[in-house]
Amino acid sequence: MKPIGLMSGFLTVGVWTLLSRVLGFARDIVIAAKLGDGPVAEAFVVAFSLPNMFRRFFAEGAFNMAFVPMFAKKLEAGGDAKTFAQDAFSGLASVLVVFSFIAHLIMPWLVLAMASGFVGDERFPLAVSYGRIAFPYIFFISLTALLSGVLNAGGRFVAAAAAPTLLNGVLLGSTILAESMGTDDFGAFLIWSVPVAGIAQMAMVWVAASRAGFRLTFSRPRITPDIKRLARIAGPAMLAGGVVQINLVVGRQVASYFDGAIQYLNLADRLYQLPLGVVAIAIGVVLLPDLSRRLAAGDATGGRNAFNRATEFALLLTMPAAVALVVIAHPIVSVLFQHGAFGPKAAASTAVVTAIYGAGLPAFVLQKVLQPLFFARHDTRSPFYYALVAMVVNAVIAFGGALLIGYVAAAWATTLAGWAMLVQLWRGSRGMGEEVRVDARLKRRVGRIMLACLIMAGCLLGTEALLGDALYSPGLRYPALLLLIGVGIVSYFAAAQAVGAASFSEIRRSVKRGG
């Protein structure tokens, strides 16, 4: 299989991520309608977040940020990349087995650290029980992340990008099965499907890696010089990942003291994670190995072009999504989630949080563009120090603001900490060299993208006013929302083409030539 180019890689990962997010929305709509914002829903959210939080800490947020550049450079230089990947696979698996066993024993303390507001009511024992069932997911998904890094470094994005769809597909299937069986224990069906999904995801990427010539197996771990170097580089990245996860824990801690707030934050998170996943994950996955290979080859010009086009691509797709989440948050949340046990008050609360997250979306996405500049140079310390500052910003706003504005402070803390992190990454990247300089094309198009977004915002507000009650009527709400979103998409891209914010002929040519 021939590795695909930068823009094609963005689109490949983005399309599969979009499919996964759509399945995730379908899953969350069913869960919200069945469980609402009650104790089982909140216990499930906390339990499911535990393995995912540590996954980002061990694998995606740290291990892979160190592993992918080293592996990509070995591929570029013709080194023994397979042996290095095998040693990393065995080492990570051994660490995960020990960590999972310890987590099982101390699960009550982990739940307490995540949501101390659960203590004294039915949510706490439920979250502990669910957490023990879900936690083995970290073993499978972390190894899936490593295998995905192997594929991505070789320019093979399809299997790694498709794997997340299995998680949402399995969870959605379990909700449908539970509904068809008429079970009273809906939460149990959901939580047992989590480790099952992990096995399916790992199997998919393991087969793809094997076919690509990297058949990795479980074996006794070896402490080689490369693994020692990997650990030294990964250490600060793990700490940085830990700081980011602490920010999430702070938000949930605040929310756990307000009934239903964990579910509000969770559903709002799902909404802003759609564009974040489609754009930022696509860029992060593709850009890091691409920059690493170019640095190894001494290609500064190619590196600069990759960085500038990734930034342009991010802004082109992220800014309109951010504006839409702020401007039409309430109709989006109402149509998607206001069903069954999830009533109007819960929908209104979720919409407020969604708009706040939307204001932070550009910062979250651009972080994914800037971080590879550091990781490709094996600099994991600088992002760690920046994350510490962002953590302080997050904690002060979340805990201090909760006394004044309640759980909404947790959302503001996340957004403002995201902007604080972005500012530090931008300032820290200024001395890196030719490949991180902003070119004339990017400077020219940023203002035009903003203008296109303002035009779109006006069209959205006008269309929302014209649709009126149709957005909240049972028989009309879905087609009305589709019409509203369609107006936003058409108006934005038409404006973008008209004002010169984007050239779609350039994008088509870039995709055709794999660039």
What 3-state class would DSSP assign to 400? helix
* Secondary element (H or E) of residue 440: helix 440-467
Q: Collapsing DSSP states into helix, strand and coil, what is residue 12?
A: helix
Local confidence band at 501 (pLDDT 50, 70, 90 cut-offs): confident
Q: Please report whether residue 252 resides in a domain.
A: yes
Q: Which residues contact 416 (CB under 8 A, 6 or more apart)?
A: 360, 393, 394, 397
State both tokens at 129.
Answer: 């029980």
- 340's torsion region: left (phi>0), alpha (psi -120 to 50) or beta? left
298-349: pLDDT as tens digits:
677 777 777 787 788 888 888 999 999 999 999 999 988 887 778 889 999 9
CA–CA distance, 8 with 261 (Å, rounded to integer):
39
Per-residue confidence band for 295, with pLDDT thresholds at 50, 70 and 90: low
- Boundaries of domain holding 338: 6-512
The 3-state DSSP class for residue 257 equals coil
Q: Is residue 89 part of a domain?
A: yes
How many folded domains does the chain comprise?
1
Q: Residue 57 has what DSSP assignment?
A: I
Residue 301: inside a domain, yes or no? yes
**Tokens 């915002």 belong to residue:** 457
Q: Is residue 367 part of a domain?
A: yes
253 CA to centre of own chain: 21
d(CA 288, CA 6): 11
**pTM reported for the whole predicted model:** 0.71
Cα separation, 95 vs 138, whole angstroms: 11
Amino acid (1-letter code) at residue 366: L
Does residue 234 sit within a domain?
Answer: yes
Residue 256 lies in a domain: yes
Question: What is the tens place of the pLDDT at every residue in 35-60?
Answer: 777 888 889 888 988 888 777 666 55
* Whole-number Cα distances in Å, 304 to 11, 428, 502: 20, 16, 19
Q: Which two tokens stand for residue 351?
A: 């919409």
Token duo for residue 297: 């080859």
1 domain-assigned = no
